Amino acid sequence: MRGDAIRCAVAIAASAILLTAGAVGLSGQQVPRNGFWLEGGTGTGTIRSAGSAAERSEVTVAYGRSLHLRVGGAVSSRVLLGVELFTLDSDDLALQQGDPVVDAQNGSVGPVVLWYVGGSGLFLKGGVGVARGTFSARSATGQVISAKRTGSALSFDVGFDIDVARWLALTANLGTYILAIGDVSVEDASVDDLVATVYEAGIGLTLR
């Protein structure tokens, strides 16, 4: 877990540096996303898991690998509409303190809006959608037991496009995903009204 935490911190720091460098040094030099665009990225993140009755001390934390895919079109030079698919995989999530850890895949899919600040490549993103959680554990007999739940999702991001070519950009993202998944029970681990909060840092490529 310590190694995952270090990788998460490094990825967040790297994304923050790219965002800051881009905002300071490349403002006003960006080629906008016009018409159809496609963005794909990967990164790392941390997930905070809590049930409806959890106290602050009972919140559990795990680290994982993230992926996102966005596709859409431009409404104007500063406003984009699209659809986003996001997922974060973790193999050491405890649903509650003292529970055995499970393999967890938490993600969302739904519409998003990107708004560019001024003429720079800096953008803000907001979205709503459907949350999906898959939790797996191995029983005493070696059989893999899984629980799948569906709920609702909210997401917020800040990002920056750094030009590579007129049709290609390097994109850095820092995001938060709030996933309300519901009751989860798998093998000896369970939680009521699970809310997973994911903090993610990612870097990807954007075709425009």
Contacting residues for 190 by C-beta, under 8 A, at least 6 apart:
95, 96, 99, 183, 184
Of 69, 71, 136, nearest to 107 by C-alpha is 69
Q: Where are the domains of the chain?
A: 2-207
Residue 54 has pLDDT above 60, yes or no: no
Residue 207 has pLDDT above 80, yes or no: yes
Name the region of 176 (left: φ>0; alpha: ψ -120 to 50; beta: rest): beta
Query: In the chain, what percentage of residues exceed pLDDT 70?
Result: 82
Architecture of domain 2-207: Beta Barrel (2.40)
Contacting residues for 119 by C-beta, under 8 A, at least 6 apart:
27, 28, 30
- d(Cα 107, Cα 115) in Å, to the nearest integer? 23
CB 97 within 8 A of CB 60: yes
Per-residue pLDDT of 166-194, as tens digits, reads: 899 999 999 999 999 988 888 777 888 88
CB 83 within 8 A of CB 56: no
Write out the two tokens for 135: 């939790």
- d(Cα 107, Cα 64) in Å, to the nearest integer? 12
The residue type at 184: V
pLDDT of residue 84: 98
Residue 51 has pLDDT above 80, yes or no: no
Write out the two tokens for 182: 């519901």
pLDDT of residue 32: 79
Of 53, 152, 133, 141, nearest to 93 by C-alpha is 133
162 band by pLDDT with thresholds 50, 70 and 90 = confident
C-alpha dihedral, 105 to 111 to 115 to 121, nearest 10°: 50
Mean pLDDT of the chain: 84
- Greater confidence (158 vs 28) lies with 158
pLDDT of residue 95: 84
CB 111 within 8 A of CB 130: no
